[in-house]
Amino acid sequence: MIRSIFPALAVLAAVPVLAQERAPLDVSQRTALRCSVAFALVAEGQAQGDPAMAAYPQLGTRGREFFVRNAAQIMDEAGLDRDAVAGLFAGELNELRADGALEAVMPPCLLLLDASGL
């Protein structure tokens, strides 16, 4: 469940950025990574009753599946282990917490989610 993933991301966000090695990901992998984290943030906000997150469709199930599938695909394609992918997720989490960043990525991410067929 995304709610169980979010606390792990929060802990990872505390890891110094210099300790997180960024793997060379292509544009589609970076986009999937960013959208996966965006969906986790929105789903967590929805679960906590955040009124700002009510503007988005419910992302608990679809967002979680998108997150899991894309994490596995990135690990396979980039040859990364779980720790490396978790570090990448943590970096995205920090970036999406900036003012307006989440709201800016959600429209294209929702299109990507719809295109995924989930």
Judge whether residue 25 has pLDDT over 50: yes
**Residues near 112 by Cβ (< 8 Å), separated by ≥ 6?**
31, 32, 35
pLDDT digits (tens, 9 = 90+) for 50-71: 999 999 999 989 999 999 999 9
Residue 99 token pair: 């003012």
DSSP conformational letter for 23: P
More confident of the two residues 117 and 56: 56
Judge whether residue 12 has pLDDT over 50: no
**Residues near 109 by Cβ (< 8 Å), separated by ≥ 6?**
34, 35, 38, 39
Split at pLDDT 50, 70, 90, the class of 4 is: low
